[in-house]
Amino acid sequence: GWVFPKYDHVGVGTGTVVNRPAIKQYQKAIRDRAGDKIAGGKIIKVEAHPIPEHYRPRRVQGRMALVGDAAGYVTKCSGEGIYFAAKSGRMAAEAIVKLMEGGKRLPTQTEIERTYIADYDKLYGPTYTVLDILQKVFYSNNGAREAFVELCNSKYVQQVTFDSYLYKKVQGNNPLDDLKLLGETIGCLIKGYAIAEPDAEFSNPVESLK
């Protein structure tokens, strides 16, 4: 869930990849948790959108290139999308302008794939991979989420998280600290599974498989 302060209002929202029909229940829970921060306010708009956190199978077709949400560039774990939308748009535009050679020619699909797509994947592909793994490990159940919360007490985790979010690429690269973090992760997962309450049961197999 999230609470985003804006110019003259607050955006309160929730997201789910498992139990979509329960989204209204989740929305009420995050509003209740926000409590005094939104007390006295009124709902001015209710809207919902799918969050495209998977690369589209085909991001270039002919001379059409997808960027941002259209290309599936939302990151997992954080749902970050604005930066990657702007960055991919700029990279696509710069690549296409260069390929056009001052307006003398039109770029082909293969050329756009070899420039814009290849450059984007090289720059940010590892970030998407790491966040995908983190989401699968820590967002799967209550025990894993408890482990993630405890891990966030680590100064190293806080620093790596802050730097990675700031620079939009996976940071760290300290072998000794990374090895210690692996041990802490295993320990936190064991503890988390031991103390966490079981996940609430729901029957929604069709949505769960999407």
Query: How confident is the prediction for the chain on average, in pLDDT?
Result: 87
Provide the residue type at 120 as one letter: Y
Integer Cα distance of 193 and 189 in angstroms: 6
Contact (Cβ atoms closer than 8 angstroms) between residue 37 and residue 30: no
Burial label, 203 (beta-carbon count in 10 A; 0-12, 13-18, 19+): exposed
Integer Cα distance of 112 and 182 in angstroms: 39
CA 90 from centre of chain: 20
What's the pLDDT at 57?
Answer: 94
SS3 content of the chain, % helix, strand, coil (to 5): 55, 5, 35
198: which DSSP letter? P
pLDDT at 202 over 70: no
What's the pLDDT at 204?
Answer: 57
What's the pLDDT at 8?
Answer: 86
Closest CA to 161 of 149, 148, 170: 170
pLDDT class of 207 with cuts at 50, 70, 90: low
Calculate Rg over the CA atoms of the chain: 21
What's the pLDDT at 179?
Answer: 87
| pTM for this prediction | 0.79
Query: Long-range contacts for 92-95 (Cβ within 8 Å, ≥24 apart)?
Result: 92/65, 92/67, 92/116, 95/119
Overall average pLDDT of the 120-146 stretch: 90
pLDDT tens-digit readout, 171-181: 767 888 888 88
pLDDT tens-digit readout, 10-52: 888 887 766 677 778 888 888 888 888 788 888 888 887 778 8
